[in-house]
Amino acid sequence: MFSLFSSGGLHSALKQHTACISFTPEGIILEASEPFLNTVGYTLDQIKGQHHRMFCSTEEANSREYHAFWQALGTGESQHGRYKRINSHGEEIWLEATYLPVKNRRGKILHVFKVANDVTQKHQSSARERAVLEALDSSMAVIEFTPDGEILNANDNFQRTMGYTHAELMGKHHEIFCPADFYQVQPHFWRDLSHGKGMQGKFERIDSHGRSVWLEATYNPIKDSQGNVVKVVKFATNITRSVEMADSATRAVLAAQSTSSQTEQIAQNGLNHLQRVVQDAQTAALTLAEAQQLIAALNKQSLSINSITESIARIANQTNLLSLNAAVEAARAGEQGRGFAVVANEVRRLAKGSSEAVDDITRVLKENTALVERTTQAMQLVVKQGESSQTSVSEIETIVNEILIGARSVSNSIDQLALESSH
C-alpha cells in the first residue's frame, strides 16, 4: 500500500511540522502525523481504520452536504475551507484544511491527503468579533465612509434614524447630514479622521426632512496592515429625545431661577418695608409717649390754673362784700359819702365782673380738664394699639425673614441643579 509518510524530504517535513492525515477515497483513516494527533487528542491506534466522520458531529455526518463532500473527493475534486471538527474530549475545534485527492498515473484515486491548520482560537475570536458587530449592527446606527467622508454603506438603523434609503445615501458625502456651520466650526474634521484620529461626542445632524437629530457617536478610523486608514466606521445612538428633555429641563431650571430670584427680591423688598414700618412704629411710639407726657403736664397746669381761679373767686367775693359794706357806710354819711358810694359801686361792679370771669374760666378749665382726660385715655389706647401693632409687625418681619431665607435656599438649590444639568 502507498504510504503517505514514505521516504523523501517533503514527506518527512510534512510529518514533522504539519497536521496532516490520509484517508481512503471512502474516508477511512490510513495514517496521521503527530501534530495532527496532538490537535485532535487521539493516538494513531485509536483512529486508524476509523472513518473520517469520527471527527464530525452526528448532525454533520448524517447531512447530505457531508456525503456530497466525499463524493466530490472520490471524483478527484479537492476541497478547501474552514471546518468544524470534534476532538477526543468532545470539544469543538476549527481547522483550516485542504483535502487533496492523490491519483496514480492512470488517474485512479489512491487516497485523500489532508493538510490542516488549527484555527480554533482565531475562529472563536472572529466569532466573538462577529457577534459584537452583529449586536452593534442590530442595536446601533452604523455607517461607513471613505477616509474623505464619502458614504460606503449604512445599516437599516442608520437609514431609519436619518430617513434615507440605502440608494439615496450611496456615494453622497457626510456633509448631507450636517448643519450649515458644522465644517466652519470643524474644518479639519475629515483630515483628522484620515490621519487616524478618532472622534466621539454628541453631534447635531439633519435628517432627510430637515429636522435636527442628536447622535451620541464615535467615528473610528479603520487601518490596513500598513497602518493606512482605509475607511471610517461610525457607531451612533439616537439621543434626540434625551437632548430635547435636557433642553426642556434647562429651560425649566432657568425659569425657576428667574422666579426664585424674583421671589427673593420681593421677600427682600417686603422685609425692608416691614423694617421701615417697625422703625416708624417705634418713632410713633416715642412721639406718642412724649405727647402723653405733654398732655399730663398740661393737665397739671390746668389744675394749677383752677387753684388760682378759686383764689381769685374768693378775693372777688370778699371785694364784693367789702364794696357792699362801703356802700352802706356811704349812704349813712349822706352828702359827704356820695363820691365814696360811686367808687364803692364801681368796685362792686368790677368784683362782680371778676367773679363772672372766674366762673367762665373755671367752666372752660373744667371742659379742658375733661378733654385732657379723654385725650389721655385715647392716647393710652393708641399707645397700646401701637405696641400691639409693633408686636404683630415684628412677628410678620420674622415670617418674611424666614421666607427670604427659604427663597435663598431654593435659589441656591436651583443654581446647583442648573450647574449639574450643564454637565
Gyration radius (Cα) of the chain, Å:
61
Report strand pairing: 141-145 vs 151-154.
antiparallel
Sorted by sequence, the CB contacts under 8 Å of residue 379 that are 6+ apart come out as 288, 291, 292, 295
CA dist 239 and 360 (Å) reads 100
Which pLDDT score is estimated for 347?
Answer: 67
Which pLDDT score is estimated for 421?
Answer: 58
Collapsing DSSP to helix, strand or coil, 169 comes out as helix
- The tens digit of pLDDT for each residue in 233-284 reads 999 999 999 998 987 877 877 776 777 677 777 777 877 777 777 677 677 6
Is residue 213 very low, low, confident or very high in pLDDT (cuts 50, 70, 90)? very high
pLDDT exceeds cutoff 80 at 197? yes
- The tens digit of pLDDT for each residue in 142-193 reads 999 999 999 999 999 999 999 999 999 999 999 999 999 999 999 999 999 9
- The tens digit of pLDDT for each residue in 316-335 reads 677 767 767 766 776 777 66
- The tens digit of pLDDT for each residue in 379-422 reads 777 667 666 766 766 777 677 677 768 767 766 766 676 666 55
How far apart, in Å, are the Cα atoms of 2 and each of 5, 100, 173? 9, 15, 63
pLDDT exceeds cutoff 80 at 303? no
Strands (E), 247-363: none
Are 19 and 42 within 8 A, CB to CB?
A: no
Question: Using N-to-C axis directions, what is the helix angle for 240-333 and 338-422, rounded to 10°?
Answer: 170
The structure's pTM equals: 0.51
CA dist 181 and 164 (Å) reads 22
Collapsing DSSP to helix, strand or coil, 237 comes out as strand
3-state class percentages of the chain: helix first, strand second, coil last, to nearest 5 = 65, 20, 15
Are 73 and 79 within 8 A, CB to CB?
A: yes
- Give the CA angle between residues 146, 147, 152 to the nearest 5°: 10
DSSP β-bridge partners for residue 115:
20, 98
Residue type, 320: N
Residue type, 234: K
Complete domains list, the chain, with CATH: 9-120 (3.30.450.20), 140-238 (3.30.450.20), 250-422 (1.10.287.950)
How far apart, in Å, are the Cα atoms of 414 and each of 255, 267, 417? 10, 17, 5
CA dist 20 and 321 (Å) reads 170
The helix or strand, by DSSP H or E, that contains position 349, with its residue range, turns out to be helix 338-422
Average pLDDT over residues 59-70: 97
Listing DSSP states for 286-350 in one string gives HHHHHHHHHHHHHHHHHHHHHHHHHHHHHHHHHHHHHHHHHHHHHHHHGGGGHHHHHHHHHHHHH
